[in-house]
Amino acid sequence: MLDLSIANRVNREKLLYVADWLAIAVAVSMPWSTSATSILSVLWLLALIPTLRWTDIRAELMTPAGGLPVFLVVLGALGMLWADVTLLERWRGFESFLKLLVIPLLFVQFRSSDRGAWVLGGYLVSCVFLLTVSFIVVAIPALSAPLMHLDHVLVKNAATQSGEFVTCIFGLLFLTVEYFERRRWWWMIILLAVILGMLANIFYVATGRTALVIIPILLVLLAVKKLKAKGVVIVFVSAISIGVVSWTASSYLRERTNAVWTEIQRYEATDERNSSGERIEFAKKSVDFIRAAPIFGNGTGAIRSLFISATAGQTGAAGSATTNPHNQTLAVAIQLGLVGAVVLWAMWIAHLLLFRGPGLAEWIGLMVVVQNIVGSLFNSHLFDFGQGWVYVLGVGVAGGMAMKNRTLENSVQD
3-state secondary structure string, 271-301?
CCCCHHHHHHHHHHHHHHHHHHCCCCCCCCC
177 and 72 in a common domain: no
Query: pLDDT for 138-169, tens place per residue?
Result: 888 777 777 777 777 888 888 899 999 999 99
Model confidence at 120: pLDDT above 50 = yes
For 127-130, the CB contacts below 8 A with 24+ separation are 127/31, 127/164, 127/165, 127/167, 127/168, 127/198, 128/168, 128/194, 130/31, 130/32, 130/154, 130/155, 130/161, 130/164
Q: Is 355 helix (H, G, I), strand (E, B) or coil?
A: coil
Same domain, yes or no, for 239 and 158?
yes
Q: What pLDDT was estimated at residue 4?
A: 47
Domain identity same for 254 and 294: no
pLDDT (0 to 100) of residue 365: 96
Asked whether the predicted pLDDT for residue 360 surpasses 50, the reply is yes
Residue 230 pLDDT exceeds 80: no
pLDDT at residue 266 is higher than 90: no
In this structure, the answer to whether residues 263 and 156 fall within a common structural domain is yes
In this structure, the answer to whether residues 243 and 340 fall within a common structural domain is: no
Q: Specify whether 266 is located in the same domain as 291.
A: no
Do 235 and 335 belong to one domain? no
pLDDT at 264 over 80: no
Between CA 342 and CA 339 the distance in angstroms is: 5
* Residue 230 falls inside a structural domain: yes
- 142-151, 221-230, 346-355, range with the lowest pLDDT: 142-151
Share of the chain above pLDDT 90, in %: 54
Does 385 share its domain with 332?
yes
As a whole number, mean pLDDT of residues 236-260 equals: 73
> Is residue 77's pLDDT more than 90?
yes
Report the pLDDT averaged over residues 256-280.
73
Give the total number of structural domains in the chain.
2
Is 38 inside any structural domain? no
Domain assignment present for 124: no
Q: Is the pLDDT reported for residue 2 higher than 50?
A: no
Given 244, 270, 296, the domain boundary residue is 270
Residue 373 · residue 349 · CB < 8 Å: no
Q: Region 56-82: what's the mean pLDDT?
A: 95
Last residue in a domain, options 238, 270, 302 = 270
Residues 157 and 264 in one domain: yes
Q: 64-79 vs 328-354: helix axis angle to the nearest 10?
A: 160
Does the pLDDT value for residue 367 go beyond 90?
yes
Please, which pLDDT band fits residue 310 given cuts at 50, 70 and 90?
A: confident
9 lies in some domain: no
Closest CA to 366 of 104, 140, 167: 167
Given a cut of 70, whether residue 103 has pLDDT beyond it is yes
* Contact yes or no for 317/281 (Cβ under 8 A): yes
In a domain, 336, yes or no: yes
Q: Which domain holds residue 375?
A: 55-112+287-414
Question: Percent of the chain, pLDDT > 70?
Answer: 92
Average predicted confidence (pLDDT) for the chain: 87
pLDDT score for 326: 87
User: Mean of the pLDDT values across residues 359-378?
Assistant: 93
Distance between CA 101 and CA 67 in Å, rounded?
Answer: 9
Q: Considering 237, 270, 303, which residue would you say is the last residue of a domain? A: 270
Contact 395, 351 (CB under 8 A): yes
Residue 332 lies in a domain: yes
Residue 41 inside a domain? The answer is no
pLDDT score of 1: 40
Examine residue 347 and state whether it is found in any structural domain, yes or no. yes
Please state the rounded mean pLDDT for residues 361-389: 92
Same domain for 292 and 410, yes or no, is: yes
**Looking at the structure, do residues 265 and 292 belong to the same domain, yes or no?**
no
Please state whether 166 falls in left (phi above 0), alpha (psi between -120 and 50) or beta: alpha
pLDDT band at 192; cut points 50, 70, 90:
very high
Output b/e per residue, 16-55; b: 16+ Cβ within 10 A: bebbbbbbbbbbbbbbbeeeebeebbeebeebbeebbeee
In this structure, the answer to whether residues 224 and 319 fall within a common structural domain is no
